[in-house]
Amino acid sequence: VLSGCGVYDGTEVHEASAILVHLSRGGAEVQIFAPDIPQMHVVDHTQGQPSENQSRNVLTESARIARGKISSLAQLNAANHDAAIFPGGFGAAKNLSTFAVDGKDCRVNEDVERVLKEFHAAGKPIGLCCIAPVLAAKVLRGVEVTVGHEQEEGGKWPYAGTAEAIKALGATHCVKDVTEAHVDRKNKVVTTPAFMCETKLHHIHDGIGAMVKSVLELARK
């Protein structure tokens, strides 16, 4: 499930690509979805600042990553799938929810909430990385997730404060390194920090690999 295209206003492209690579290697068949809604805003990625008087559609932008093979999230039915995975990027906190603005008081897009609840109720695994675990923390009360470490550690974990917001939502935050994934076996939710950590790209790729591997293992049980 994508949230646009580009780290500051949509899906983190490297995370989405890593997920697709690991799913392919694991022998999974993949369908890509995104909500057919306007983005919260458009960010000029050369400046890291919002662009004035621009609007973009989350589904249309996500289609760039999907190479055009994408469907509206409204069409996603858990009965037709074995697992769901949500990459990070600020789109998860701006378009799939209002977490970037409202923190623990955020609202989650109704189709995102529906999908999370459907997969959870069906006992099917859900993978989330980077900032996306806040979606599970908000919708699936009491879930265990990780966004990495809980202290910034000199800038290595610049978004460490997210862990406190997760706790405020009633979820349990589990400290993990960037190459690791946390598996909540009770809820079948698998999370990994990804770009919540300032580190080398291959470390993020490895952590996402651990997440995907665990999701596929849970799906096959």
Residue pointed to by tokens 């790729």: 205
* Per-residue pLDDT, 91: 98
The phi, psi pair for 173, rounded to 5°, reads: -95, 130
Instruction: Look up residue 213 and give its amino acid.
Output: K
Count of domains forming the chain: 1
* Per-residue pLDDT, 101: 97
- Which pTM does this prediction carry? 0.97
Identify whether 6 is part of a domain.
Answer: no
Identify whether 4 is part of a domain.
Answer: no
Asked about 130 being catalytic, the answer comes back as yes
Identify whether 202 is part of a domain.
Answer: yes
Contacting residues for 221 by C-beta, under 8 A, at least 6 apart: none
* Per-residue pLDDT, 29: 98
Identify whether 3 is part of a domain.
Answer: no
Identify whether 5 is part of a domain.
Answer: no
Identify whether 2 is part of a domain.
Answer: no
Closest listed residue to residue 139, CA positions, set 99, 83, 183: 99
* Per-residue pLDDT, 221: 84
Could you list the residue range(s) of the whole structural domain that residue 74 is in?
Answer: 13-219
Identify whether 39 is part of a domain.
Answer: yes
**What's 160's domain CATH number?**
3.40.50.880
Question: What is the residue-level pLDDT of the chain in tens, covering all 221 positions?
Answer: 999 999 999 999 999 999 999 999 999 999 999 999 999 999 999 999 999 889 999 999 999 999 999 999 999 999 999 999 999 999 999 999 999 999 999 999 999 999 999 999 999 999 999 999 999 999 999 999 999 999 999 999 999 999 999 999 999 999 999 999 999 999 999 999 999 999 999 999 999 999 999 999 999 98
Rounded to the nearest angstrom, the gap between the alpha carbon of residue 6 and the centroid of all alpha carbons in its chain is: 13
Residue 19, token pair as written in the block: 């997920």
CA distance 192 to 184: 12
Selecting among 106, 130, 174, 197, the annotated active-site residue is 130
Residue pointed to by tokens 């990994």: 192
Identify whether 205 is part of a domain.
Answer: yes
